[in-house]
Amino acid sequence: MSGSTTIVHLLRHGEVHNPEGILYGRIPGFGLSELGREMALTAAERLSGRDVVHVGASPLQRAQETAEPIAASHRLDTVTYDGLIESGNSFEGLRVGVGDGALRHPRYWWRLRDPFRPSWGEAYLDIARRVMDAVDKARVAAEGAEAVLVSHQLPIWIARRFAERKHLWHDPRRRECSLASLTSFHYEHESLTRIEYSEPAGHLLLKSESARKAKGA
């Protein structure tokens, strides 16, 4: 890698232990499941041969736990970035699955009145600005090398859309940001040149999905 090239990898945390199936959001105490820890190790293995000189993470437990093996493999400390935290959401703590959760109750429908902002939580533009601020700080800290920032699905996806100059409102079902995935921002000096996406733990997701289907059969 040339001295002018810097890569900032946005890594989504691994699977969370959440037996009740609630929207945990920013609620403390939600750590990685056994599979989630395996995902974190898999991501760390993928990044072990990279020139990583800076590791950061959201303050939430699942992000910190995902960052641990990466920081350890590169003999670095994890820097906590408040700007990488999960998005605020007024449905936090509820089950929000379509047909079996909060969305079926008319008393909550007013929160869904504006999907473009959105009306149920933190504004997309605010999310984009705080995540991109963390990305910029990590780019400076890792100038000429690579940084890894562990965050959450919506913040990573919104930052990507913002960087690609796309509308921030979107269909959540079409987010390209699976568990333990990497969304990598490539810079030449201060200019973003491309964004790449990869799924180091994709095989684990397939294995988990197959196990769930077999259990439910």
| Mean pLDDT, the chain, whole residue set | 91
The predicted model scores a pTM of 0.91
User: What confidence score (pLDDT) does residue 217 get?
Assistant: 44
* pLDDT average, residue stretch 194-217: 78
Residue with structure tokens 């180091």? 200
Q: Which long-range contacts (CB under 8 A, 24 or more apart) does 157-162 make?
A: 158/87, 158/124, 158/127, 158/128, 158/131, 159/10, 159/127, 159/128, 159/131, 159/132, 159/135, 159/183, 160/10, 160/195, 161/128, 162/125, 162/128, 162/132
Q: Which CATH architecture does the domain made up of 5-216 adopt? A: 3-Layer(aba) Sandwich (3.40)
Q: In what order do the strands lie in the sheet with 182-188?
A: 78-80, 52-57, 146-151, 5-12, 182-188, 191-198
**pLDDT tens-digit series, residues 155-203:** 999 999 999 999 999 988 899 999 999 999 999 999 999 999 999 999 9
**pLDDT tens-digit series, residues 124-155:** 999 999 999 999 999 999 999 999 999 999 99
Break the chain into its structural domains and give their ranges: 5-216
